[in-house]
A and B are shown apart, each in its own frame.
Chain A
C-alpha cells in the first residue's frame, strides 16, 4: 500500500488540496482586504472608526462576553449531568443540546419573537414593566446564547465520558467535599476542552447573522451587530465600508484560529507530559 503511492499521485493530491484551499478560502479572504483598502488606508480607517461601526463592535463584543460565561456554566452543568448521573431523559438531554445546530438560525430568531414579542402574554407583561427584549440588546444576547450553547457541552461530554468518574469517586472517598472535588479533580482535567468550546462558541457569537437579524430591528448605532452592519453598508452601496467592517470579522476569525491552534498545541503537550509521568 505504502509502496504503491506514485510520486504523481502525491503531487496531484497536494495540488488539488492546496488549489481548493486557495480558491475557496485564501482568495476570498484576500479579496475582503483588497476591497476594504480599495480607496486607501484613510478611507479604511474612517469606516472602521465610524461611530455606527464602533457601536456595532461594542454590541457584538457585549453579546459574546455575556454569552461566553453563561455557556461555560450551562455546558458544565449539562456535561456533568449527562456523564455523571444516570437519569430518565438523559439521552433526551444530549439530543436537545444539539437542537440549535439542527435548527435554522432564522427559526431561532423567530421563536424569540413568537415568545417575547409584544403581542404575546410574556412579551406584553415585560413591555408593561418597561422592559424591552426583542429589538433591543437583551434579544440579541438571547439569540446569541441560543445558537452558541451546544459548543461547550459538545466539547465536554465526550471527554468526561471517556475520563469516567473514578478519580472523583476517589476524591470523595478521601474526604473531599463536592466543591473541592470539582475544583481540584474535575476542572483541571477538562480545563482545556472548556476553553476550546468557549473559543468556538465565541467565534459563532461574533459571526452570527440570521438569528440576530430577526430580533435586532436594525436600529443604526443601537441594535446592529457587526455582521448586520456589513449588510447595511453593502446595501448603501458603500462597499469599502462593508468590506472594512468585514475585515474586522475576518481578523476575529484569524485570531480564533490562532487561539485554537495554540490551545491544540498545549493540549498535545499536556497529554505527552501526562504520559511521561
Chain B
C-alpha cells in the first residue's frame, strides 16, 4: 500500500522533471525580445508575425520574437535591472533616455539613429465620454466645468498619464498666451476633479468603461479607438479636441544586449520594418498614426485632423518637463491632493 503510493509520487516527480526538460530543451531558434509598454500588445503581436515571415522569406532563418508589456517606466526599470531586451519600444523618450543614462545599455545618440527621431508612429491624447456625450464635452475648457469628473492615470507611474498631463498643460498655456499661472490654475482644477488616479492607461480605461466612474476619460487615441472597437458605441464615444499633443512613442536597439547576443542586424531590421509601407499600415490598423502619407490615407484609415503641438513646445522637452512637473515636489505634487481635496 505504502509502496504503490511511493511509486505514484515518484511517477509524479518524474513527470514534473520530464515536463521541465521538455520545456527547457528544444532546438536553438534565434529569438528577438521586444520590451514594450501596455497598449502596444495587439499591434506588436501582428508586427511580429509579419516580420518573422518576411525575415524567413528573405534569409531562410526561422526566428521567434518575444514580447513583454507593462507600464513604460516599469519596463525601462526592468531593462536597467538586467532584462535582456534586444529592442525597447516605450511610451516616451524619457524612459529610453533613462536606460541610456544608467549603465550605458543604449548609446546616448539613439534618437538620431532612425528616422523621425526614432518614433515610427505617433498618437495623441483624446477624450472618451459616455454614449451620446451627455455632458457635452467638446474641448479642453469643458473638462474643468464644475461637477465634471475626469479619469486619468497617475503621471508618476504611467507614461500615458504624462502625455495626458502635458497635453492639458500645453493647450492651457496656448490659450492663456503663455501665462504659466493660468495653466497651473487649469491643471489644479482638472486634477482636483479626478475621482481615481489609476497606475496605468489600461487600468484607467477599465475604471471608466467597465466600472462606470467619471464623465470623461483622458487617454491615448490608439487606446480609445481600441476600447471603442472592443466595447462598442453603446458603451463609449470618442471626442477629439481641437488641439492636443503630438505623442511620439520611440523605439531603440539595446546596444549592450544585441552585441552580446549577436542580434544587432536582426534588431535593426525589425525596427526599420516599422517604417516600411507594411509596418506603417499595421500601425494605422492598430490606431497609431503612421508617419508616411500613403499609410495615413489608406483604405479604411481615418484620423481626425487636429492642431498638434510637441513636448518641446509645451514644456521644453522631457527632461525639463520631468523636473518642472513630475519630479518629487514638482508641480504635480503641489496641485494634486489624494482624495480630491478641492471637492
Report B37-61 CB contacts with A as 1/0, cut-off 8 Å.
Answer: 0100110000000000000000000
Complex: chain B residue closest to A234, CB-CB: B206
Using known A-B contacts A135-B84, A222-B66, A237-B230, determine if residue A217 contacts B19 with beta carbons closer than 8 Å: no
Whether the Cβ atoms of B81 and A58 lie closer than 8 Å is no
Complex: chain B residue closest to A118, CB-CB: B82
Chain B residues near A132 (CB-CB < 8 A): 82, 84
A71 to B339, CA, bound (A): 44
Report A218-240 CB contacts with B as 1/0, cut-off 8 Å.
Answer: 11111100000000100111000
Whether the Cβ atoms of B82 and A127 lie closer than 8 Å is yes
Using known A-B contacts A69-B13, A218-B68, A222-B66, determine if residue A236 contacts B41 with beta carbons closer than 8 Å: yes
Complex: chain B residue closest to A59, CB-CB: B23
A163 to B206, CA, bound (A): 55
Whether the Cβ atoms of B23 and A113 lie closer than 8 Å is no
Q: How many whole Å from B230's CB to the nearest CB in chain A?
A: 5
A18 at the interface (CB under 8 A from B): no
A84 at the interface (CB under 8 A from B): no
A135 to B38, CA, bound (A): 18
Q: Using a Cβ cutoff of 8 Å, how many contacts connect chains A and B?
A: 72
Chain A residues near B202 (CB-CB < 8 A): 235
A269 at the interface (CB under 8 A from B): no
Q: How many whole Å from B139's CB to the nearest CB in chain A?
A: 29
B33 at the interface (CB under 8 A from A): yes
B17 at the interface (CB under 8 A from A): yes
Complex: chain A residue closest to B41, CB-CB: A236
Report B304-336 CB contacts with A as 1/0, cut-off 8 Å.
Answer: 000000000000000000000000000000000
Q: How many whole Å from A192's CB to the nearest CB in chain B?
A: 11
Chain A residues near B227 (CB-CB < 8 A): 237
Whether the Cβ atoms of A219 and B70 lie closer than 8 Å is no
B83 at the interface (CB under 8 A from A): yes
Q: How large is the interface on B (under 10, 10 to 19, 20 to 34, 35 or more residues)?
A: 20 to 34
Whether the Cβ atoms of A65 and B38 lie closer than 8 Å is no
Whether the Cβ atoms of A135 and B82 lie closer than 8 Å is yes
A135 to B17, CA, bound (A): 21
A132 to B24, CA, bound (A): 14
Complex: chain B residue closest to A136, CB-CB: B84
Chain B residues near A75 (CB-CB < 8 A): none
Partner of A65 from the list B16, B66, B82, B84 (CB cut-off 8 Å) is B16
Complex: chain A residue closest to B38, CB-CB: A235
Partner of A62 from the list B19, B38, B103 (CB cut-off 8 Å) is B19
Q: How many whole Å from A260's CB to the nearest CB in chain B?
A: 16
Partner of B67 from the list A119, A135, A220 (CB cut-off 8 Å) is A220
Chain B residues near A55 (CB-CB < 8 A): 23
Complex: chain B residue closest to A134, CB-CB: B82
B337 at the interface (CB under 8 A from A): no
Q: How many whole Å from B277's CB to the nearest CB in chain A?
A: 27
Report B56-99 CB contacts with A as 1/0, cut-off 8 Å.
Answer: 00000000001111100000001011111000000000000000
Q: How many whole Å from B80's CB to the nearest CB in chain A?
A: 7
Q: Of residues 103 to 132 in A, which have CB atoms within 8 Å of B's CB atoms?
A: 113, 116-119, 123, 127, 132
Q: Sample 26 A-B pairs with CB under 8 A, ordered by A number.
A: A61-B19, A62-B16, A62-B19, A62-B23, A65-B16, A65-B20, A69-B13, A117-B82, A118-B82, A119-B81, A119-B82, A119-B102, A132-B84, A135-B78, A135-B81, A137-B24, A217-B78, A219-B67, A219-B68, A220-B69, A222-B66, A223-B68, A232-B69, A235-B203, A235-B206, A236-B42
Q: 5 smallest A-B Cβ distances: which pairs?
A: A118-B82, A65-B16, A117-B81, A135-B83, A219-B68
Known pairs A55-B23, A62-B19, A218-B68. 11 more at Cβ < 8 A?
Answer: A58-B19, A117-B81, A119-B80, A119-B102, A134-B83, A137-B24, A217-B78, A219-B68, A220-B67, A232-B69, A235-B38
